Structure 1
Amino acid sequence: MTQSVPMTREGHQRLQEELKKLIREERPKVVQDIAEARGHGDLSENAEYDAAKERQGFIEGRIQEINDKLSRAQVINPAELDTDKVVFGARVTLFDVDSGNEVTYQIVGEDEADLKFGKISVTSPVGKALIGHKLDDEVTVKIPSGLKTYEVIDIKYE
């Protein structure tokens, strides 16, 4: 049984755009680079050829990976969710009990996670710990530096 890959609409769209770029731009360019490097003669000592072949392998692998994820994608629109619990797609504001700081995270798929933009993976320790909790719940998360306690102070689905 294949496991679905949860993602937001934005994450799904970003993967589709990356796939288009790889197929339309990167793949033809690397094929051209390989042909050009072949023209330089002896392939056994041709660093340009080796580099281009390695790049081609990376591009083809990434195309396969994206195709696989898109074929198993379960696109979730947080705005359509009607729940009072933290679920995939939620934008959750937490009060850090230890430091007194507030932090807001959106729980997204693995490919979309980017801490700089407040997006954490549903499979991350904090993401996993938050799932299923409600407003005003205290959540203790095991992180590399120990235990961290948060209070859920806001949950939004946008």
Structure 2
Amino acid sequence: MSKAFTRESDQDDDDDDLPTVAPAPGGKNYITRAGYDRLRAELFQLIDEERPRIVEVVHWAASNGDRSENGDYLYGKKRLREIDRRIRFLTKRLEIAEVVDASLHHGGDQVFFGATVTYADADGKETTVTILGVDEVESAQGQISWVSPVARALLKARVGNVVRLSVPGGVQELDVLAVHFPVPATR
């Protein structure tokens, strides 16, 4: 078959390498306002700035003639596919997002979405984590997804409770030491 009749996307544009972050059980995709705004800003930056810039480069490169050995053209087309894939992903995630205001629980001692929780394991090692949405977690900053096993064990617990966490080596007990929520914004 002639190469003229193949879709360009048949070569590298598989949606299989998209991050497949499905909503948690029940179909909810909880996210904080800050996380939602960050994803939305990324989406608009891709649509309004990066994609038009790459389209311009591809257009310029295509006007130079032979596209088969034109690095700007080939790289530009590949980058456009990556941008379009990310735009589709962000659009789908934002459509199903449910923004939660964690500051509504400020002053409470029960663990809910958006809480920063300090707990101790059986060895007395203290760990502090913030329970956030799947799309906004940065583990290097001590953030965990609300669907993670640790977060599931901690949710609805109160300060002073001991929760049980199933781990590959058995069951681990975690003692909830402190719960903090963001301060409500003043208007």
1:149 shift after superposition: 3.3
How big is the shift at 1:14?
A: 0.6
Match of 1:15 in 2: 39
Asked whether the equivalents of residues 109 and 158 of structure 2 are also in contact (C-alpha less than 8 Å), the reply is: yes
Structure with higher strand content: 1
- Note the residue ranges of structure 2 that are not aligned, 5 or more in a row: 1-25, 183-187
Query: Structure 1 residue 29 and structure 2 residue 50: aligned?
Result: no
How many residues end up aligned between the 2 structures?
156
44-53 or 104-113, larger mean C-alpha shift? 44-53
Kindly indicate whether the alpha-carbon contact (under 8 Å) linking 2:109 and 2:178 is maintained by their aligned counterparts in 1.
no
Give the secondary structure class of the aligned counterpart of 1:150. Answer: strand
The structure 2 residue matched to 1:79, chosen from 86, 94, 103, is 103
The equivalent position to 1:93 in structure 2, one of 109, 114, 118, is: 118
How far off is 1:87 after superposition?
1.8
Counterpart for residue 111 of structure 1: 135
CA deviation after TM superposition for structure 1 residue 128, in Å: 2.1
Name the CA shift for 1:54/1:147 in 2 (closer, same or farther; >3 Å): farther
Q: In angstroms, what is the RMSD of aligned CA positions? A: 2.2
Deviates more, 1:136-145 or 1:123-132: 136-145
Pairwise CA distance, 1:75: 0.7
User: For residue 41 of structure 1, what is the aligned residue in structure 2?
Assistant: 65
Aligned partners of 1:136 and 1:67: how far apart in 2? 41
TM-score, with length taken from structure 1 = 0.85
Q: From 105, 118, 126, give the equivalent of 2:150.
A: 126
C-alpha deviation, 1:37, in angstroms: 2.1
CA contact (8 A) 2:109 2:180 kept: no
2:31–2:98 CA contact under 8 A, matched in 1: yes
